[in-house]
Amino acid sequence: MSVFNALSTAVSGINAQSTAFTNLSNNIANSQTVGYKATTTAFQDFVAGAGGNSASADISDSVAAVTVQHVDNQGTSSTSTDALATSISGNGLFVVSKGTTSGGQTYYTRNGEVYENKAGYLVNTSGYYLEGYMVDPSTGTLGTTLTQLNVSNVTFKPTETTTLTSTSTVGTATGTNQTYTTAPTTVYDSSGTAHQIGLVWTQSTSDTSKWTVQAYDADGGGAISDASPSPYIVTFDSSTGAMTSVTDATGAVVANTTGTAAEIPITATYNGVAQTINLDLGSIGSTSGTVVATAKSGTPSTSQGTSLVVSGGSLAMDSGGGAVNIGAQTGTNDTYTTTPLKLSDGSYVSAVWTKNPTTAANVNSEQTWTVKLVDPYSSATSDSTTAQVTFKADGTIDTINGSSTGSISFTDSSGTTQTLNLTTSSVKLGSSSPYTDTTAVTSDSIATGTYEGAEITSDGSVMAKFSTGTQLIGKVALANFANVNGLEGVDGQAYVATTNSGNAQIGVSGQNGTGTLSVGYVESSTTDLTKDLSSLIVAQQAYTANTKVVTSANTMLQATIAMIQ
């Protein structure tokens, strides 16, 4: 090996140790950086004459330094003051982007110190936008398109109804084949769509103590009890009025102990999706509550609601025939359905009041409602005109279609056209109780809630916190790679995919070999200060030694030059 080779080799050694020094200094500088992955330096020698036939001719000629990434090394978890901060326990990286536009570069990081920015996006401390899958507000299902997670403008989605509870008594009606209909209650399907459901009790023609109970759709969509077997027969004690048994259409006993609660299923199909609700009959037959009785004529024997006129007959929905108190409706699309009335031709009619969504949500301000008539027991779509009823701040009617009076027409199931005449004294918008109707059926749905913020759970679910519970609004995406150490590092503790890393396998927590999330924690830097400071001393000494080689080579060259002078 010549002096010149020794000189160039020493220079390569200086460069290699400079690379090691740079990596060590970068590790030390980022010892407190969340999600930072410390690097190491690997050295490789080069041999002059390598590949020849004589091993003695191979001479080490220089050295090169290579920076080695350790993205697969997991740092320790430490607590964070950010409520949305999250660390990954196991494999995987967060999927992030630099902006909110679609189609840009996708990045990956272990920095889960996330907060909500002023636009509602989840952003980490390096400025990257956290990506995942958002829930479709119209269907309530989790989407499949990767997008930036945003928690602004979150609205409460009513929970799906699973149980209807009846707290009424059928009463001691004389005769046979009597019919009782409950006032409707609001239920919600799996997509959060509201429906009005009530119960119809029909007395047996042969046994006055036996009644058939079946659900009806008070919105006008027809009977919703499609369960098999259906309907159910409830038997009462003739002396005490207590429920003694419940049997299905095949005669199978559902409950046979006096006073024992019984649950019967109601199967409905909404938006093409079958929904099942349990009807709890635990309080049926007690001495409290009211069940609306509908007589076979145009005038109900006992009922509730508003005093209106249908083709000369009374649509009186309370026993006194007074005006309905629609109640303190504070939403923007509230619906109130009156108890069904059986008309003289055998058809039924209910008035459906729907608050216009464009009006103010304060009961003390002017409100406009749309009213129409429906046949709650007919599956056929009936023709009905509507009227726009505007209420004053005191709850009384101001105008009906811009006038003091108005009417709407309705074609019932028998083909007869009925007319509903409205006057300014027909309906009153109340300010305290929800309705004057005593609803005999209640739902376990939660219809409203006040938004209190967002949180992330261990499975990556982004949950909206409401005063009445939590609801899913999105899920955090995680990515995994065949060779995670093949990723290319960029600013902000982030990486981009390369041919060495392979394509990203993106999903949610637990998919593609990814781990779970630790909420309230962040992943610390993987820098080992003790080890790196020791390595720094070694690099310094190696650097100095290489400079000595340069000095010695220079001295030898000077001696060679002096020899020929």
Domain membership flag for residue 156: no
Determine the structural domain holding residue 19 and report its residue range.
3-70+526-563
Statement to judge: residues 549 and 510 lie in one domain: no
| Residues paired with 474 in a beta bridge | 134, 462
Structure-block tokens of residue 52: 């020849």
Spatial separation of the C-alpha atoms in residues 59 and 519, rounded to whole Å: 56
Statement to judge: residues 321 and 365 lie in one domain: yes
Tracing tokens 């920095």 back to the chain, one arrives at: 111
Statement to judge: residues 319 and 380 lie in one domain: yes
DSSP 236-302: E-TTT--EEEEE-TT--EEE-STT---EEEEEEEETTEEEEEEEE-TTTTSSS----B--SSSS-SB
110 and 89 in contact (C-beta within 8 Å)? Answer: no
From its phi and psi, is residue 467 left (phi > 0), alpha (psi between -120 and 50) or beta? alpha
Instruction: Write out the H or E segment, with its range, that includes residue 506.
Output: strand 505-507
Domain membership flag for residue 460: no
Structure-block tokens of residue 494: 């982030």
More confident residue, 227 or 222: 222
Domain total of the chain: 3
Q: What is the pLDDT of residue 329?
A: 41
Statement to judge: residues 532 and 515 lie in one domain: no
Give Cβ neighbours of residue 398 (< 8 Å, ≥ 6 apart). Answer: 366, 390, 391, 392, 424
More confident residue, 30 or 399: 30
Statement to judge: residues 328 and 219 lie in one domain: yes
Query: Over the chain, what is the mean pLDDT?
Result: 72
* 315: DSSP letter: -
pLDDT at 18 over 90: yes
509 and 95 in contact (C-beta within 8 Å)? Answer: no
Spatial separation of the C-alpha atoms in residues 188 and 205, rounded to whole Å: 34
Statement to judge: residues 247 and 319 lie in one domain: yes
pLDDT over 70 for what percent of the chain?
54
Domain membership flag for residue 250: yes
pLDDT at 385 over 90: no
Statement to judge: residues 544 and 516 lie in one domain: no
DSSP 353-373: EEE-TTS-S-TTS-EEEEEEE
Instruction: Write out the H or E segment, with its range, that includes residue 559.
Output: helix 529-563
Q: Give the number of other Cβ atoms within 10 Å of residue 273's Cβ.
A: 11
Statement to judge: residues 196 and 115 lie in one domain: no
For the chain, what's the residue count? Answer: 565
Give Cβ neighbours of residue 385 (< 8 Å, ≥ 6 apart). Answer: 372, 408, 409, 410
Spatial separation of the C-alpha atoms in residues 282 and 241, rounded to whole Å: 13
Q: Give the number of other Cβ atoms within 10 Å of residue 389's Cβ.
A: 24
Statement to judge: residues 333 and 253 lie in one domain: yes
Statement to judge: residues 533 and 432 lie in one domain: no
Domain membership flag for residue 148: no
User: Distance from CA of residue 285 to its chain's centroid?
Assistant: 39
Spatial separation of the C-alpha atoms in residues 143 and 236, rounded to whole Å: 50
More confident residue, 295 or 160: 160
Tracing tokens 């509903």 back to the chain, one arrives at: 420
User: Distance from CA of residue 368 to its chain's centroid?
Assistant: 31
pLDDT at 270 over 60: no
Spatial separation of the C-alpha atoms in residues 498 and 283, rounded to whole Å: 67
Phi, psi for 354 (deg, rounded to 5):
-125, 125
Statement to judge: residues 400 and 362 lie in one domain: yes
Q: What is the pLDDT of residue 371?
A: 73
Domain membership flag for residue 356: yes
Highest mean pLDDT among 128-137, 392-401, 440-449: 128-137
pLDDT at 271 over 50: no
DSSP 91-133: S-EEEEESSSSTTS--EEES---EEE-TTSBEEETTSPEEEEE
pLDDT category at 346 given cuts 50, 70, 90 is low
Q: What is the pLDDT of residue 500?
A: 95
Domain membership flag for residue 352: yes
Q: What is the pLDDT of residues 183-201, one digit of tens each?
A: 667 777 766 777 777 766 6
Statement to judge: residues 313 and 386 lie in one domain: yes
**Span 368-383, average pLDDT:** 64
DSSP 49-87: TTTSS-GGG-EEEEEEEEEE--TTPPPPEEE-S-TT-EE
Q: What is the pLDDT of residue 513?
A: 93
Domain membership flag for residue 329: yes
Domain membership flag for residue 176: yes
> Closest Cα partner for 484 from 521, 460, 515?
515
Spatial separation of the C-alpha atoms in residues 401 and 275, rounded to whole Å: 38
| Residues paired with 78 in a beta bridge | 522
